[in-house]
Amino acid sequence: MDFSVEELAALLGGQFVSDGEPRVRIRRAASVADAEEGDVTFLSNSRYLPALRSCQATAALVPADFREQIRTAAIRVDDPAGAFAGVLERFAPAPIRAEPGVHPSAVVVGNAALGEHVSIGPCVVIEPGAQIGARTVIHAGSYIGHEARIGADCEIGQRVTVGARCLIGDRVNLHSGVVIGSDGFGFELKEGRHVKIPQTGTVQIDNDVEVGANTTIDRARFGRTWIGAGTKIDNLVQIAHNVVLGQHCIICAQVGISGSTRLGNYVVLGGQTGVIGHIELGDGVQAGAQSGISKSHPPGTILWGSPAAPLRQMKQQMARVARLDKLVERVRHLEQDATRGNSLPGCM
């Protein structure tokens, strides 16, 4: 699919302001850093203007008040970033629709209940008693355990494991390699050996949750590990047994949350953050990347550092540490003064 610069300007309700040839074809959308001939790009922040000037793009969406002379054909629009998102959609490859039905290589054992228009890919294994909701797609090589229940309109990526009795809501997206319902990590030391504590609970994932590639969510010791509706979890995250995440949280890549910790709604944890077990983070708590959260915090707290403290306090502390050389210098001066002071004539 391609457009002329002119057509693109018309589609976006924008104004084509360049001297260039309006019938040049645009075949792709790209960022200022990547754009080449035949591409349309956009400028929403004047910080990227130098990059735009040296960019090979054929056209650029620019703000309505843009008056620079650039080599690239400029199309003035009200909201370059928003308009560009629309252009991206037009250039996006057609989405891949999974065929409804059960692939002949899939293994559906016993009495699994499959909803209407379900798509079960090659080499998928579905155990007895599992339920799959309408229009849900289960991609190649995934495993759905005994009596697991998956809602409607879900997308279960390739090579996902959903363990026995786990509950997945509607419109949930589990990316490739996710493991839901592995055993919680619980042992009791008896006569010098770690004896396994049975992990007989489940995992419950509510509607509209997304879970990133190779993330692991352990089943509860008993009861459930619970991910609230609308929460989004990135890749390679570890969620331990009996953890409760509220609704609409954002959990970035490689975060680890230890057992029985509870997060409120709209909590945001930056990448590689670790959270200790058995604590509570209130609604809207946010933590910077690599934080180490070792105690409960009330709603709205902004955290950073390891051990994590409120952001302002942590920044002050870091600034003081960075200026330690100056403090050492001041103490040295005081010591010199003191020595000189003691030897002042007439003072003793």
* Residues from 51 through 70 that contact a copy of itself (CB under 8 A): none
- Minimum CB separation of residue 283 from a copy of itself in Å reads 12
One-character DSSP codes across 196-263: EPP---EEEE-TT-EE-TT-EEEPPSSSEEEE-TT-EE-TT-EE-TT-EE-TT-EE-TT-EE-TT-EE
With CB under 8 A as the contact rule, the residue among 11, 17, 24, 164 that binds a copy of itself is 164
Which lies closer to a copy of itself via its Cβ, residue 20 or residue 271? 271
Interacting positions 123-162 with a copy of itself (CB under 8 A) = 123, 125, 139-141, 143, 145-146, 157-159, 161
Q: Where are the alpha helices (DSSP H) in the chain?
A: 5-11, 49-53, 80-91, 311-322, 324-342
Question: Is residue 333 annotated as a catalytic residue, yes or no?
Answer: no
> Using the rule CB under 8 A, which residue among 272, 279, 296, 311 binds a copy of itself?
272
- Which residue in 238, 283, 302, 310 binds a copy of itself (CB under 8 A)? 238
| Complex with a copy of itself: residue 22 or 263, whichever CB lies closer | 263
The distance of Cα 281 from the centroid of its chain, to the nearest Å, equals 19
Give the C-alpha separation, 299 to 297, whole Å. 7
CA–CA distance from 262 to each of 188, 224, 248 (Å)? 23, 12, 14
Number of amino acids touching a copy of itself (CB under 8 A) = 107
3-state class (DSSP) for residue 133: coil
Candidate list 151, 228, 246, 256; residue touching a copy of itself; CB under 8 A: 256
Q: What is the CA radius of gyration of the chain?
A: 29
What is the x/- site pattern for a copy of itself, positions 293-312, by CB under 8 A? -x-----------xx-----
Asked if 121 touches a copy of itself (CB under 8 A), the answer is yes
Positions in 72-91 near a copy of itself (CB under 8 A): 85, 88-89, 91
Set 241, 248, 278, 333: catalytic member: 241
- Cα–Cα dist 134/241, whole Å: 29
Residues 3-22 binding a copy of itself (CB under 8 A) are none
Q: Which residues are catalytic?
A: 241
